[in-house]
């Protein structure tokens, strides 16, 4: 008895070719993307672009994972303050600041048209006791 060898060659083409032509494969017919190695098996009704891959290891998007733990607290804006308060830098350190009651809007003490380079918050008594007032500093007083 003679043995006969036959080869089955499925339809094949590049992903781009399959996507552009979008054929409907017969039920059980294989179609192989020659550049990706993925294949689809036809059902006789759905066109190529709607058929799922038969050998796809990647599924759809899953649900979001749980949030991670909170990180360590960092330096930044000091806790406190009320709506309408002003955050004022108190020293040259990176995060040296404090909340001052009220909104800093008074430019009279610095002089109209003067370039403001500094904002200092202090009580009225502290302001009155200053021997010299810097013209480029906005002094915000509070009690």
Residue 117 placed within a domain: yes
Residue 81 placed within a domain: no
Residue 96 placed within a domain: yes
CB 24 within 8 A of CB 43: no
Higher pLDDT, 40 or 104: 40
Q: How many domains does the chain have?
A: 2
Angle at 3 between CA 2 and CA 9, to 5 degrees: 145
pLDDT for res 11? 92
Q: What is the mean pLDDT of residues 74-91?
A: 74
- Residue 140: its H or E element: strand 137-142
Q: What is the domain extent for residue 93?
A: 86-142
Give the tens place of pLDDT for each residue, 34-74.
998 899 999 999 999 999 998 766 667 788 889 988 877 76
Give the tens place of pLDDT for each residue, 105-118.
544 444 455 566 77
pLDDT for res 135? 75
Residue 129 placed within a domain: yes
Residue 106 placed within a domain: yes
DSSP string over 10-49: -EEE-HHHHHHH--BPPTT-EEEETTT--EEE--SSSBGG
């Amino acid at each position: 008895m003679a043995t006969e060898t036959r080869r089955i060659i499925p339809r094949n083409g590049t992903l781009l070719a399959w996507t552009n032509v979008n054929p409907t494969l017969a039920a059980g017919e294989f179609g192989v993307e020659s550049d990706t190695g993925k294949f689809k098996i036809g059902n006789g009704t759905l066109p190529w672009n709607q058929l799922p891959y038969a050998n796809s290891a990647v599924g759809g998007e899953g649900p979001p994972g749980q949030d991670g733990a909170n990180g360590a607290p960092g330096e930044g804006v000091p806790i406190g303050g009320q709506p309408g308060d002003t955050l004022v830098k108190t020293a040259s350190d990176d995060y040296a600041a404090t909340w001052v009651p009220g909104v800093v809007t008074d430019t009279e003490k610095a002089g109209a048209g003067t370039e403001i380079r500094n904002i200092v918050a202090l009580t009225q008594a502290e302001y009155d006791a200053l021997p010299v007032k810097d013209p480029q500093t906005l002094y915000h007083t509070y009690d």
